[in-house]
Amino acid sequence: MADVLLEMKNITKTFSGVTALSDVDMAVVDGEIRALVGENGAGKSTLMNILSGVYPYGTYSGEIVWDGKPCEFRDIRDSERLGIVIIHQELALVPQLSIAENIFLGNEQASRGVIDWNMTSVHARQLLEKVGLDEHPGALLGTIGVGKQQLVEIARALSKKVKLLILDEPTAALNDEESRKLLSLLVDLKEHGITCILISHKLNEVSEVADNITILRDGCVIETIDRHHEDFHEDRVIKSMVGREMTNRYPEREHHIGEEVLRVEDLVTYHPDQSERQMVRGVSLTVRKGEVVGLAGLMGAGRTELAMSIFGRSYGQKHSGSVFVRGKKVDIHDVTSAIANGIAYVTEDRKSLGLVLIDDIRRNITLPNLKKISAHGVINQNEEVVAAEQFRTRLTIRSSGIDQVVESLSGGNQQKVVLAKWLMSEPDVLILDEPTRGIDVGAKYEVYTIINQLASQGKSILMISSEMEELLGMCDRIYVVNGGEIAGELPRAEATQESIMKIIMTHQKQSRERKSA
Amino acid sequence: MNTFKRFFKANLRQNGMVIALVFIMALFQVLTGGILFRPMNINNLVLQNAYVLILAIGMLLCILTGNIDLSVGSVVAFIGAVSAVMMVRLGLGVGVTIVLALLLGIAVGAFHGVFIAMFRIPAFIVTLAGMLIFRGLTMVILRGQTIGPFDRSFRAIASGYLPGEELRIAGLNGVAIVAGILMTVYFIVAIIWARNNKKKYGFEVLPVSIEVGRVAFIAIAINFFTYSLAAHDGIPVVLILLLGLMMIYSFLTQRTILGRHIYALGGNEKAARLSGVKTQRIMFLVYTNMGLLAALAGLVVASRLNAATPKAGTMFELDAIGAVFIGGASASGGIGTVIGAVVGGLVMGVLNNGMSIMGVSVDWQQAIKGMVLLGAVSFDVYTKKRSQGS
């Protein structure tokens, strides 16, 4: 057994009376990849914030021992000095600065306060090579994708001589390919002696790379499973996380598929800033009553752009093509008319696009539906409370009441608020964009159940997801999107991860050939 | 006791401001040796601060969207100048002038609104430009001179009183006394009605003791206020204007779809747009409305000064912005109330008035007001953090 690098003993942390962590013990061995899993609110982030000094010594009880020596971190700098670097889910990078500047942010390559740009550039190049990112260090961070930005964060950690790298949901915003790349980088770093704590909801990834999995539930360590132990598999981990057996991750549903409800023909949309760049290229699709239709594709395939173009042209410019609802051509030129025609869109980014975070649950749920509870533009606030309360109960939004500010809700409950607001609009067609991103297994199951209920009530669902398993588990039919086009269509029976990837690959090859021709 | 604590905590932001106002009033009552609460001074408080309160109401809407309007002081002067030219030089009637001046205000607001909402130029820049443009135009129109005086009926806007002087109750102005009693009754009936309505829906209502205490406090405040006015010359015309605006804009922001959309736009513009809020239209309306209210304030100011001057309205925009922030609005948008803005304006007004009575020099008054603004907003941020932490 190798040396223990880090030991956390009897860590207990309370927030004004509420216990977030109770008596947590965790030991991390030098050079391992340790996964930390648990449902939202289990205490993973709190534990890591204590370890990295975000919550300073004295605000918790217990002991942190690093390399045999007890530590009392006053702030992040203290922990970074020892080589503990945390990369948060929301990246702490500045999009307006270059990649190199971001790598050395707060750690500038300077002498006497004057930045040495040559040294910055040289070192940045070396670090980028280490993380396998082929970009010019002078490129603006905002111009590269999220996956690459994640790599920049890791390069930045490396520049701080990291020994223990903590990643909080690093793959939440990445597609499968980017995720794989990131995970293999972690394995690569391990070879170079960098220990890693990986927080993730994606259990398949975790079991791929982790040496040990520590499971937290309700602020306690339930168990730590070794890679070589026979219990090292997803079902076992899920059971520990939720405290019960989950036989089926995707709830069953009866399929009653009826007539066509939504038809999109030849939809074309251009990029909002670059008026020559086609983002959606002549897409046609249909969704029938009671049907769950998936949009599969890699990140950047144009699925969100497509969905938002259908939803009242809320993305891009120079739109053309037609939308039919129940066989009738409808004029959907803005969001209001989309709502009026029974289309709703649950955004992929609930915090910046889906919710007014400073408002309470009630006001968020009723925002698109104020007409329903008003007469002559005047809101009946009592009706509003009744309606909001009804949805809070129906979707089991865990909160102190409908007056709780949504900012303070967990990710899963925030997602339910977004769902509630669009359910209240009673749409015929519900477009869901990454409906389970960044929420835990239990909340996912609840969201799936809600989707199934809606489908069996006769709603039509169009669902975007980067987790192929989810699409395969939920959808009756899957459109494969690539390069802003529909690359193929698969019924449930024929859809597998392999068949979807094959369609994408073939389509990519074809479009390359078309371009070169 | 527990429910009282909860009620107090839940309303700390709003109550905090009211408490601060009461505290400042009590302080100056002592410091000025009892002059502050004399009927004549209460009357002066209303007349002196009417314009700030009118501007603060409009400014609140701008600040709710997460922006500000720097042009209002200049627009006040501009509207005053145009009105003066219309009345004194062109000999137009008072009624016609008022209507034209308000329409001009709407046009000015729409001018800003087009650039802000349609061309998406930051409001700060557009209204900074407006501040320069309309100050300049004022000087052009007035050619550096002062135009006045005005007809008596125009002066009545800012310094007139409601008729009914002959109706006397115990030697006091009867109209004011009756108005105070009517308002108290209306207030009590409204609260009972709202309580019953809430009960009908099965919602929680405040315990009777708190409700009674609240009603008693407000009833005393209203009647003391109207009594003071009655002991002077009665109810000022501009007070009616103010109360009307407060009621209209409180209703608009708290009870209507439009109001809700303004809050949502300020809270998260993108999310609001994806929820069907016509964000451009709302932004345009908010700035157009600011133009209208700035014009109204411009008429009040001209009427009070009985002249249009090139320097009228200087720094008014900062008074209005200060009032809104003291009143608990958030600079990033989405938080704030009309009542809060009015209370904030009154805090500033009482400070001005109290310090003037005490003979504090204008220079010091500025500095002290600045410190109060900073203190009020710091307190606000502090309480917000604390309520989030628990």
- 3-state helix, strand, coil split of chain B in percent (to 5) is 75, 0, 20
ipTM of the complex: 0.86
Question: Are the beta carbons of A367 and B257 separated by less than 8 Å?
Answer: no
pLDDT value at position A2? 62
Task: Tell me what the mean pLDDT of segment A408-421 comes to.
Answer: 89
Task: Tell me whether residue A143 is exposed, middle or buried, using C-beta atoms within 10 angstroms of its C-beta: 0 to 12, 13 to 18, 19 or more.
Answer: exposed
Question: Are the beta carbons of B271 and A336 separated by less than 8 Å?
Answer: no
Q: How confident is the model at residue A316 (pLDDT cuts 50, 70, 90)?
A: confident
B261 neighbourhood in chain A, CB within 8 Å: 370
Long-range contacts formed by A466-469: CB under 8 A, 24+ apart: A466/A174, A466/A175, A466/A176, A466/A299, A466/A434, A466/A437, A467/A202, A467/A436, A468/A176, A468/A296, A468/A497, A468/A500, A469/A204, A469/A497
Q: Give the range among A250-259, A321-330, B359-368 with minimum mean pLDDT.
A: A250-259
pLDDT tens profile A30-41: 989 999 988 766
Q: Would you say how long chain A is, in residues?
A: 517
Question: Are the beta carbons of A352 and B334 separated by less than 8 Å?
Answer: no
Other C-beta atoms closer than 10 Å to the C-beta of A142 total 12
pLDDT tens profile A484-514: 999 999 998 898 888 888 888 888 888 878 8
Share of chain B above pLDDT 70, in %: 94
Question: Are the beta carbons of B197 and A371 separated by less than 8 Å?
Answer: no
Q: Indicate the residue of A347, A358, A381 with minimum beta-carbon distance to B274.
A: A347
Nearest C-alpha in B relative to A372 = B257
Residues of B with CB under 8 A from a CB of A: 197-198, 200-201, 203, 255-258, 260-261, 263-264, 267-268, 270-278, 330, 334-335, 388-390
A408 neighbourhood in chain B, CB within 8 Å: 388
A355 interface with B at CB cutoff 8 Å: yes
pLDDT value at position B287? 98
A353 interface with B at CB cutoff 8 Å: yes
Share of chain B above pLDDT 90, in %: 62
Task: Tell me what the mean pLDDT of segment B193-197 comes to.
Answer: 87
Q: ∠B285-B287-B290 over CA atoms, to 5°? A: 110
Distance from CA of A133 to the nearest CA of B (A): 32
Contact B110, B166 (CB under 8 A): no
> Position of tokens 């001589």?
A161
Question: Are the beta carbons of B260 and A370 separated by less than 8 Å?
Answer: yes
- All residues at 6 or more sequence positions from B159 whose CB lies less than 8 Å from its CB, including other chains: B47, B236, B303, B304
Handedness of CA B101, B102, B107, B112 (dihedral sign): positive
pLDDT value at position B8? 60
The CA distance from B79 to B100, in Å, is 10
Estimate to the nearest angstrom the gap between the alpha carbon of A77 and the chain centroid.
28
Q: Is the pLDDT of residue A481 over 60?
A: yes
Nearest C-alpha in B relative to A309 = B274
The CA distance from B376 to B327, in Å, is 8
Q: Domain locations in chain B?
A: 22-160+236-380
Handedness of CA B309, B311, B315, B317 (dihedral sign): positive
Q: Is the pLDDT of residue A442 over 50?
A: yes
Q: How confident is the model at residue A1 (pLDDT cuts 50, 70, 90)?
A: very low
Q: Which residue has the higher pLDDT, A135 or B291?
A: B291
Site from A308, A314, A335 to mutate, B interface, most B CB atoms within 10 angstroms = A335
pLDDT value at position B390? 37
pLDDT tens profile A83-110: 999 988 777 888 889 999 999 988 888 8
Q: Indicate the residue of A359, A379, A385 with minimum beta-carbon distance to B256.
A: A379
Site from A358, A369, A389 to mutate, B interface, most B CB atoms within 10 angstroms = A358
Q: Indicate the residue of B274, B389, B390 with minimum beta-carbon distance to A335.
A: B274
Task: Tell me what the mean pLDDT of segment A169-182 comes to.
Answer: 80
Question: Are the beta carbons of A356 and B264 separated by less than 8 Å?
Answer: yes
A354 neighbourhood in chain B, CB within 8 Å: 271, 274
| Size of the A and B interface in Cβ pairs below 8 Å | 85
Q: Is the pLDDT of residue B285 over 60?
A: yes
Question: Are the beta carbons of B335 and A358 separated by less than 8 Å?
Answer: yes
Distance from CA of B337 to the nearest CA of A (A): 14
Contact B87, B151 (CB under 8 A): yes
Question: Are the beta carbons of A357 and B277 separated by less than 8 Å?
Answer: no
**Which of A:359-388 have CB within 8 Å of B?**
359, 363, 366-368, 370-371, 374, 377-379, 381-382, 385-386
Nearest C-alpha in B relative to A334 = B276
The CA distance from B123 to A333, in Å, is 27
A334 interface with B at CB cutoff 8 Å: yes
Q: How confident is the model at residue A399 (pLDDT cuts 50, 70, 90)?
A: confident
Nearest C-alpha in B relative to A421 = B275
Q: Is the pLDDT of residue B22 over 90?
A: no
Task: Tell me what the mean pLDDT of segment A459-481 comes to.
Answer: 90
Distance from CA of B328 to the nearest CA of A (A): 14
Highest mean pLDDT among A137-141, A219-223, B84-88, B224-228: B84-88
Q: How confident is the model at residue B4 (pLDDT cuts 50, 70, 90)?
A: low
Fill in the DSSP letter of residue B236: B
pLDDT tens profile A120-160: 999 999 999 988 888 888 888 888 877 888 889 889 988 88
pLDDT value at position A416? 92
Cis peptide before B122 (omega within 30 of 0): no
Distance from CA of A123 to the nearest CA of B (A): 39
Handedness of CA B162, B166, B170, B172 (dihedral sign): positive
Question: Are the beta carbons of A335 and B273 separated by less than 8 Å?
Answer: yes
pLDDT value at position B267? 93
Contact A221, A214 (CB under 8 A): yes
Which of A65, A70, A103, A64 minimizes the C-alpha distance to A87? A103
Q: How confident is the model at residue B389 (pLDDT cuts 50, 70, 90)?
A: very low
B330 neighbourhood in chain A, CB within 8 Å: 358
**Joined tokens for residue A475:** 């959808």
Q: How confident is the model at residue A245 (pLDDT cuts 50, 70, 90)?
A: low
Which of A219, A173, A227, A230 minimizes the C-alpha distance to A38? A219
Question: Are the beta carbons of A377 and B271 separated by less than 8 Å?
Answer: no
**Which of A:399-428 have CB within 8 Å of B?**
408, 421
Handedness of CA A17, B2, A387, A421 (dihedral sign): negative
Distances (CA, A) of A290 to A287, A326, B286: 9, 13, 43
Nearest C-alpha in A relative to B263 = A359
The CA distance from B373 to B381, in Å, is 12
Question: Are the beta carbons of A359 and B264 separated by less than 8 Å?
Answer: yes
pLDDT tens profile A338-363: 999 999 999 988 888 999 999 999 99
Q: Indicate the residue of B200, B203, B257 with minimum beta-carbon distance to A370.
A: B257
A379 neighbourhood in chain B, CB within 8 Å: 255-257, 260
B386 neighbourhood in chain A, CB within 8 Å: none
Q: Is the pLDDT of residue B239 over 90?
A: yes
Which of A321, A279, A276 minimizes the C-alpha distance to A481? A279
Q: Which residue has the higher pLDDT, B204 or A373?
A: A373
Question: Are the beta carbons of B264 and A314 separated by less than 8 Å?
Answer: no
The CA distance from A196 to A163, in Å, is 8
Q: Is the pLDDT of residue A48 over 60?
A: yes
Q: Residue B149 in 3-state DSSP?
A: coil
Nearest C-alpha in B relative to A311 = B274
Q: Is the pLDDT of residue B1 over 50?
A: no
Q: Would you say how long chain B is, in residues?
A: 390
> Is CATH 1.10.3470 what the domain over B22-160+236-380 is classified as, yes or no?
yes
Question: Are the beta carbons of B274 and A353 separated by less than 8 Å?
Answer: yes
- All residues at 6 or more sequence positions from A94 whose CB lies less than 8 Å from its CB, including other chains: A101, A102, A105, A141
Distance from CA of B263 to the nearest CA of A (A): 9
A339 neighbourhood in chain B, CB within 8 Å: 276
pLDDT value at position B290? 97
pLDDT value at position A19? 75
Contact A250, A473 (CB under 8 A): yes
Site from B247, B255, B275, B386 to mutate, A interface, most A CB atoms within 10 angstroms = B275
Task: Tell me what the mean pLDDT of segment B192-213 comes to.
Answer: 84
Task: Tell me what the mean pLDDT of segment A278-301 comes to.
Answer: 89
Distances (CA, A) of B132 to A228, A235, B125: 75, 69, 11
